[in-house]
Structure 1
Amino acid sequence: MTEPSGGSSDRARRPVVVPALALTTFTAVGITAMLGGLREAPEEPEALGQGAVIDQGQFTTKVVGSRVTVERARTQFEEDKRFVDVVFDVKNNGDETASVGSPPQKIESAFTLASFAGSLVKIDPAFPKDAGPNVFARSKGDETRQLHPGVTSQVILRYQLKDTDQPPEKITLDVAAFEWESDWNNVTPRWKMVATEAGDKYLPEIKARVTLSVKEGDAV
């Protein structure tokens, strides 16, 4: 009886050798595919300092600087007050009045804000909660909480120091930006903070990281 061509199926098969490097590559590609593909590492924000001008979309912001300000007591029964001020010149590029606002208490809640100070998403070192900040604008000598269209106003971010507190030598601020776009459920465009989805959160993209030396200022 003649065997079928090709020989017996019981013949031992030669093992196939796969280089370890190839296995590592295949494994890495598989894991990457499971995780949704290759992701680019986020770019480091632009490092800026005093005098820098930041294009925030809704605002054009010049960083004037940071200083210690002393408010002299008005009576003998009061005491002098000391503050750390961060000063900006802010132009509202929009067609409507914008709010000066306040920095967000948590960075993950920042993307819902459309105010200028809402874009100051991180301040280092962090001040105590009872230190403020108080944020206000000065326009034509008056203090206000509004930024009018096409107008440049001086905005002051102010933290109060206690008697025993020493001001920090430097302050670093992470600054976000805004873009003019519509929501998925609303075709009317508006200014929205530029943010990236991270799980169930939206984290603001950092447009610039500003580091300022805190200087001695004048009494007010």
Structure 2
Amino acid sequence: MARNDSTGSEARIPVRIPHRDIELDGDLTVPAHPRGLVVFAHGSGSGRHSPRNQHVAADLVAAGFATLLMDLLTQAEEAVDVETREHRFDIPLLAARVVSAIDWAQGVPDVAELPVIAFGASTGAAAALVAAAKRPDRVAGVVSRGGRPDLAGDALADVRAPVLLIVGGNDLVVIQLNEDATHELTAPFDIRIVPGATHLFEEPGALDQVIDLVLEALDRWLPAHA
């Protein structure tokens, strides 16, 4: 995997991820000696260019983790979804594409052997959880940021990896939905509330608190010496 060695920073490499009869656009970034691969599943009406996911991904790369940001919908599907919102809540469709990304990564030499963290936001969190249930030998942890884990349904009971649920303190409905979902989880889980934050964590410093919580969890799940 090419890197921008002249500046000392890692290059973001555009990739195409095959899924059945389509290809999904993604951006893969691999630092030197990565500890794991974080696969992002974006939320409703979002994509790989989401400034929030890019912010989180940049800090994870700086901490030594490879990241894969991807569009779960094609451009044509995205155009339809903007009008109808029919795809953003299609969890089986989104989850199948996260699984394809995890499988694809096994063929990329720089990340093939890395443990995978599935990181979902909003409805993408449900897709990440379903993917973790379908690939228990590959997924070492699941992170949900302002997510809807309740939409993962029966798959919650099949998740084996530890789960971190991060919710804004002012996102009261989503807090309740997350708490309800934990009753179906059999894997270890932790709910962390970011005080004063709303659903998108747009408040000053809120997203940085999310990143701190994620890095704390990854240090537990993927010890540096491993």
Name the larger-Rg structure. 1
Name the structure with the higher helix share: 2
Structure 2-normalised TM-score? Answer: 0.22
Structure 1-normalised TM-score? Answer: 0.23
